[in-house]
Amino acid sequence: MIPYNLIDTASHAGATLRLYRRGDEFSIRVDKAGELMNSRAHHSEDMLAELACNHLAGRKCPHLLVGGLGIGFTLAAVLSNTGPDAQITVSELIPAVVRWNREYMGHLAGFPLNDARVLVLEQDVAQVMQKHKDFDAIMLDVDNGPCPFTHDDNAALYSLRGLNLAFNALRPGGVLTVWSATSDPEFARRMRKAGFEVKEQRAGSHQAKRGNRHTIWIGIRPGLN
């Protein structure tokens, strides 16, 4: 088997992220916790976007927020499932991840950062939600979900306070979708406590029925669509 080659490293909040390449495959890993994401396994990230965009079908000039750029597949799925009048804001806290997309991995998802509909903010998504209150959809794929292993502070995003931020950043009838590596009944209860109408869906990391099974929560802010 072809070995992985280390392409670049980046430090953030005490953690070290490493970008590896093996042929056309890319892998982002963090310290001793292991692989955070792999370019060969992104079906659940695609679904995170598709579920949000399906809820907005027919809505004019939607404003969508993608929390966590990753390898770019969630953003690419948003672009594929929205029209030319959509505005997409991407919040990515780690500048190196944005740079890796531009320099090494952009071709994997069709260079989504080059789309004129996209605005990239190298900021904490919680700060973005606190500042802007006009989103029709928010998609959160930050760290490992409600049980983070990259940075403990990411847990605040999935706390009741973080969910309240998301709720208030959405327009009435807006949708929040949240990706997680594992299921978490307590997190679903927090979503309901924040005011969301909640559904849960399981999704494989690959489109075929193999690989890890991930969880996606769909939270609707009640109100007019």
- The DSSP code for 222 is -
Q: Across-strand partners of 38? A: 27
Tell me the two tokens of residue 201. 């869906």
Task: Answer yes or no: is 61 within a domain.
Answer: yes
Q: Is residue 4 part of a domain?
A: no
pLDDT at 208: 43
Task: Tell me how far CA of residue 89 lies from CA of 13, 42, 68, 108, 113, in angstroms.
Answer: 23, 20, 10, 20, 10
pLDDT digits 0-9 by tens, 32-45: 667 888 998 888 88
* Residue 75, domain extent: 40-220
Write out the two tokens for 165.
């931020």
Does residue 188 fall inside a structural domain? yes
pLDDT of residue 152: 52
Q: Lowest mean pLDDT: which of 55-59, 62-66, 118-122? A: 55-59
CA 119 from centroid of its chain's CA atoms: 15
Quick check: is 7 in a domain?
A: no
Average pLDDT, the chain: 89
Structure tokens at 187: 């997190």
Residue 96 in this model has a pLDDT that exceeds 50 = yes
Q: Which residues pair with 89 in a beta bridge?
A: 65, 119
Residue 138: strand pairing partners: 65, 176
- The verdict on residue 193 lying in a domain is yes
Q: Determine the 3-state secondary structure of 213 from DSSP.
A: strand
Beta bridge partner(s), residue 63: 87
- Residue 96 belongs to domain with CATH number: 3.40.50.150
The total of structural domains in the chain comes to: 1
pLDDT at 36: 85
Is 84 within a domain?
yes
Residue 127 CA: distances (Å) to CA of 8, 59, 103: 28, 26, 26
Q: What are the φ and ψ backbone dihedral angles of 201, each rounded to 5 degrees?
A: -135, 140
**What token pair was written down for 107?**
């071709």
pTM score of the predicted model: 0.91
Q: What is the pLDDT of residue 144?
A: 61
Would residue 2 count as lying in a domain?
A: no
Residue 147, pLDDT score:
63
Is residue 207 situated within a structural domain?
yes
b/e per residue 94-127 (b: at least 16 CB within 10 A): bebbbebbeeebbebbeebbeeebbebbeebbbe
pLDDT of residue 141: 87
Rounded CA-CA distance 69/184 in Å is 23
Contacts 24+ apart (CB under 8 A), 67-70: 67/91, 67/125, 67/128, 67/138, 67/139, 67/140, 67/141, 67/142, 67/157, 68/92, 68/125, 68/140, 68/141, 68/142, 68/143, 69/97, 69/98, 69/101, 69/120, 70/28, 70/37, 70/45, 70/97, 70/141
Find, among 198, 193, 192, 196, the residue nearest to 172 by Cα: 196
